[in-house]
Amino acid sequence: MTSKRVVAPYVLILPSFVLAALIVIWPVNELAQIASHSVNRFGQLRDFVGMANFRALLDDPNFIASLWRTGIWTVAVVGGAVICSVPVALVLNEDFYGRDLARVIVMLPWAVSLTMTAIVWRWALSGESGMLNSALLEFGIIDQNIQWLAEASTAFPMQILIGILVTIPFTVTIILGGLSSIPDDLYEAAALEGAGRWEQFRHITLPLITPFLNIALVLNTIYVFNSFPIIWAMTQGGPANSTDILVTYLYKVGFRLGKLGEASAVSLVMFGILLVFTLIYVRLTTSREVKA
Amino acid sequence: MNSSKLRRSIICWLALSPVVVVTIFPFAVMLISALKPSTEVLTPTWWPSRIAWENFQTMWVATNFGNALKNSLYVSVLATLGSLIVSIPAAYALTRFDFKGREFYRQFLLVTQMLSPIVLVVGLFRLMVSLGLIDSINAVTVVYAAFNIAFSVWMLQSYFATIPLDLEEAAWMEGAGRAKTLVKVFLPLAVPAMVVTAIFTFINAWNEFVIALTLLRSQDSYTLPIQIFSLVSGRYTVEWHHVMAATFAATIPVAIAFAWLQRYLVRGLALGAVK
C-alpha cells in the first residue's frame, strides 16, 4: 500500500513529462547539434564547425541591429503595456454601470490570433485605401495619406503600439487579480485617517500590487521577446530588414536563406536570454512564497 | 446614491474610452471591409454603399475556407484532448501528493512554458524532417498538445487546489479506494476547471502561427491562420474583402467563447501566477 502511494504521483506525471520532454526539451538538443555543425537546408549535419555559426552572426550587421531592435521592442511593448494597464485595471476594479461589458471589450484582443490582428492592421494601415488614414483625414488630424508600413520610422512604432494593445489584456488580468486581493477595510481605514485618493493609491494599492506587477513584467517580457506574428504578418521584418527583431531574423535566416546553422545559433542565444528572464521570475515568485 | 454611481460610470467609461476605441477599431475595420462590395474595397471610404453579404459566400470558395476550417478544428480539438489527458493526472498529482521531485517537475514545466515554439522551431523542424512528418497535421497536433501542457497543468492545479480535501477524506473513511474516490468524487467536482482549461487550450491551438507556418507545406493541410496569411503574403493583388470576411469568420466564434469565459481566466491565472 505504501509503495503504491509512493509510485502513484510519478505514474501520474509521467505522460505529461514524456510528451513535454520529447517535443519541448529534445529540440534544444537538436539546436545545439545544428548550431555546432555545418548543415544543409533540410537539417542534415556535415562537419563539426564549433563556434563558426556564432561568429558568422556577430559578423552580420543585421543580427546586431535585430538584437538592439529586440531590446527596444521588448522594453517599449512591456513598459507601455504595464503603464497603460494599471489605470485600466484600476478603473475596471471600480463598481460602475456596464463594467462587465467594459471588461469583455478590454480583454477582446486576447482572443484573436496575433496573425489575424496583424493582417487586419496591415490592411487598416494601408497607405491608399487604409481606414486609419481615411479616419484621420476625416477628423482633420492629417492632411495627406501616410504610408505607414513603407518605412521603419512609422512601421515599427505602429507595431509597438499594436504589441502594447494585445499585451494589455493579460497584464490587466494579472493586476485585477492583485487588486481583488486587497481588503476593502484598508481603504476605509486610510480614508478615516484623511488619506486622499492619490495617497491611498501610493501607499496602499501600489505596494500591494507590486508583486503582481513584477510577475506581469517578467512574463510579458518572455512573451513579447518571443512574439513573432505581429511583425511577420505586417512587414516580414521589412522594408529592407529595418523592422526585424530576433525572432523574425531567425525565421528569415533559417527558412528564407536556408542557413539552419546560423538560425540555431540565434535560437540558442535567445534561449540563454530567456533563461535569465526565467530565473528572475523564479526568484520573484519564490521570494513571495517565503514572505507569505 | 444612484446618481453618484451614474456619475462614476460616466467617468469610468470616459477614462476607458481610448482603450475601447483602439480595441474596437480593428474589429470595425474587419467587419466593414468584409461587407463592402468588391468594387468599393479599395476606395478609402468608411461606409459601404450597400451591405455585400455575398462576400462570405464567395470568400468560402475563393479562399478554400472550408478545408482550412476542417484542419483547424481537427488540430485544435485533438490537441486539446491530448493535452488534457496528460495534464489532468499531472495536476492531480501536484495538488494531492507530496512527492520527491515535485519542485523539479514544476520548474521543468516552467522551462517548457518559457521556450516558445519560435525559439525551438529550427530544432522541431529537424526533428520532424528526420521522422518524415513534414506536412503532417497530426505532427502539428502533437506539438500543440505538448506546448499547452504547462499552461493546462498550471490552470488545472490552481483550481484543483480549491477543491476541499474533506469530501475525498469522507469517501475514504467509508472505504472507497483512492481510484474510486478520484472518479466518483474528485473528477465530477473538477469538471468546470477542465472545461475552462480545455477552451483556453483550444483557443491557443486555434490561433497558433509559427509551428503551422513551418511544418505545414501544402494548401491541403493549412490551418486557418496559415491559410489566411497565405492570402496576403507575397501576392501582388490581395482580395481584401475576402481576407477580411475570412478573418471575421475565423475570429468571431472564438472571441465570443472567450468573452464568455474571460472572468474564469482572471481567477485561474491570478491564483496560479502568485502561488
Confidence tier at B174 by pLDDT (50, 70, 90): confident
> Does any domain span residue B16?
no
DSSP assignment letter at B253? H
What size, in residues, is chain B? 275
Distance of alpha carbon B249 from alpha carbon B64, whole angstroms? 13
Confidence tier at B269 by pLDDT (50, 70, 90): low
In order of A44, A141, A153, A156, B181, the CA distances from A238 in angstroms are 30, 27, 12, 10, 58
> Does any domain span residue B262?
yes
pLDDT (0 to 100) of residue A53: 87
Distance of alpha carbon A23 from alpha carbon A16, whole angstroms? 11
> Does any domain span residue B166?
yes
Mean pLDDT throughout B30-47? 82
Confidence tier at B199 by pLDDT (50, 70, 90): confident
Q: Are B48 and B31 in contact (CB under 8 A)?
A: no
Distance of alpha carbon A60 from alpha carbon B196, whole angstroms? 46
pLDDT (0 to 100) of residue B273: 47
Of B153, B179, B224, B145, the C-alpha closest to A112 is B224
Confidence tier at B36 by pLDDT (50, 70, 90): confident
Distance of alpha carbon B140 from alpha carbon B134, whole angstroms? 9
Per the listing, cell 501542457 goes with B149
Of A220, A120, A269, the C-alpha closest to B231 is A120
Residue ranges of alpha helices (H) inside chain A are 2-20, 26-35, 52-58, 61-92, 99-111, 114-124, 131-138, 152-180, 184-192, 197-200, 206-225, 229-234, 246-251, 260-291
Signed CA dihedral, A228, A231, A234, A238: sign only: negative
Distance of alpha carbon B123 from alpha carbon B140, whole angstroms? 14
**B200 grid coordinates:** 483556453
Q: Are B82 and A168 in contact (CB under 8 A)?
A: no
> Does any domain span residue A103?
yes
User: What is the number of structural domains in chain A?
Assistant: 1
**pLDDT of residue A58 exceeding 60:** yes
Question: What percentage of chain A has pLDDT greater than the value 70?
Answer: 96
Question: What percentage of chain A has pLDDT greater than the value 90?
Answer: 38
Distance of alpha carbon A154 from alpha carbon A142, whole angstroms? 14
Does A120 contact B244 at a Cβ distance shorter than 8 Å?
A: yes
**pLDDT of residue B14 exceeding 90:** yes
> Does any domain span residue B28?
no
**Cis peptide bond upstream of B117, omega within 30:** no
B55/chain A closest Cα distance in angstroms: 17
Comparing A129-138, A247-256, A261-270, B130-139, the range with the smallest average pLDDT is: A129-138
Confidence tier at A63 by pLDDT (50, 70, 90): very high
> Does any domain span residue B6?
no
Mean pLDDT throughout B38-53? 79
Neighbouring-strand partners of residue A48: A37
The CATH number of residue B169's host domain is 1.10.3720.10
> Does any domain span residue A150?
yes
Confidence tier at B272 by pLDDT (50, 70, 90): low
**pLDDT of residue B1 exceeding 70:** no
Q: Which of B9, B113, B119 to mutate to test the interface with A (most CBs of A within 10 A)?
A: B119
The angle at the Cα of A24, spanning A162 to B208, to the nearest 5 degrees, equals: 35
**pLDDT of residue A5 exceeding 70:** no
Q: Are B30 and A122 in contact (CB under 8 A)?
A: no
B155/chain A closest Cα distance in angstroms: 14
**pLDDT of residue A291 exceeding 70:** no
> Does any domain span residue B48?
no
Chain B touched by A279 (CB under 8 Å): no
How many residue contacts between A and B have a Cβ separation below 8 Å?
A: 309
Average pLDDT over all residues of chain A: 87
Mean pLDDT throughout A245-261? 92
Q: Complex ipTM, two decimals?
A: 0.86
Average pLDDT over all residues of chain B: 87
> Does any domain span residue B7?
no
Q: How far apart are the first and last CA of chain A?
A: 35
B178/chain A closest Cα distance in angstroms: 10
Confidence tier at B270 by pLDDT (50, 70, 90): low
Per the listing, cell 559578423 goes with A59
> Does any domain span residue A70?
yes
> Does any domain span residue A200?
yes
Number of C-beta neighbours around residue B46 at 10 A: 12
> Does any domain span residue A11?
no
User: What is the number of structural domains in chain B?
Assistant: 1
The CATH number of residue A82's host domain is 1.10.3720.10
Provide the residue range defining the domain that includes B148. Answer: 65-274
Comparing A19-23, A235-239, B1-5, B144-148, the range with the smallest average pLDDT is: B1-5
**pLDDT of residue B197 exceeding 90:** no
> Does any domain span residue A249?
yes
DSSP assignment letter at A254? I
> Does any domain span residue A230?
yes
**B232 grid coordinates:** 496576403
> Does any domain span residue A255?
yes
Distance of alpha carbon B156 from alpha carbon B91, whole angstroms? 6
Chain B touched by A236 (CB under 8 Å): yes
Chain A touched by B80 (CB under 8 Å): no
Provide the residue range defining the domain that includes A137. Answer: 61-291
pLDDT (0 to 100) of residue A117: 93
- H or E element that contains B131: helix B117-131
**pLDDT of residue A224 exceeding 90:** yes
Backbone angles phi, psi at B62, to 5 degrees: -65, -30
Phi-psi region of B50 (alpha: psi -120 to 50; beta: other; left: phi over 0): beta
Does A108 contact B265 at a Cβ distance shorter than 8 Å?
A: no
Mean pLDDT throughout B112-124? 88
pLDDT (0 to 100) of residue B57: 87
The angle at the Cα of B140, spanning B90 to B89, to the nearest 5 degrees, equals: 10
> Does any domain span residue B215?
yes
pLDDT (0 to 100) of residue A176: 87
Q: Which tens digit of pLDDT belongs to each residue from A157-216? A: 999 999 999 999 989 988 888 888 888 888 888 888 888 888 888 888 888 888 888 888
Chain A touched by B64 (CB under 8 Å): no
- Which is more confident, B263 or A52? A52
3-state secondary structure of B95: helix
